[in-house]
Amino acid sequence: MKNQLRILAALSVMLGALLAPETSFAGWGAIACNQNNAGCGVSYGWPTLAAAKSYALIECLRSNRACHVWRWEHNMCIRGPYGAYTCN
């Protein structure tokens, strides 16, 4: 009986990851934006907060000059300005 429950639990987790892939990345995420032109960069699934912030800034700086980290998260979803969104 215990093995059957373990198998059922594992199948439930796998099904959840397939049905909602945007929530299957555990880790850190961040949103970096430029207030002057509403450009943003997002990151998710990073092992450290520093890595998540750096990647979001790099993504934002590709099309902007004055970017700053707006918000960050750990294993959750957040919304930033101008429609930016990231989810772990």
Confidence band (pLDDT; 50, 70, 90) for 4?
Answer: low
What residues form DSSP beta bridges with 30? 43, 72
Average pLDDT on 24-53 reads 88
Average pLDDT on 25-31 reads 86
Residue 51 clears pLDDT 90, i.e. is over it: yes
Predicted TM-score of the model (pTM): 0.65
Residue 30 clears pLDDT 70, i.e. is over it: yes
Give the pLDDT confidence score for residue 10 in this predicted structure. Answer: 45
Half-sphere exposure of 3 (CA within 13 A, CB side): 0
Cβ-count burial of 46 within 10 angstroms (0-12 exposed, 13-18 middle, 19+ buried)?
buried
* Residue closest to 76 by CA, chosen among 5, 39, 23: 23
Confidence band (pLDDT; 50, 70, 90) for 23?
Answer: very low
Task: Measure Cα distances from 8 to 11, 12, 28, 85 in Å.
Answer: 5, 6, 29, 32
Give the pLDDT confidence score for residue 79 in this predicted structure. Answer: 79
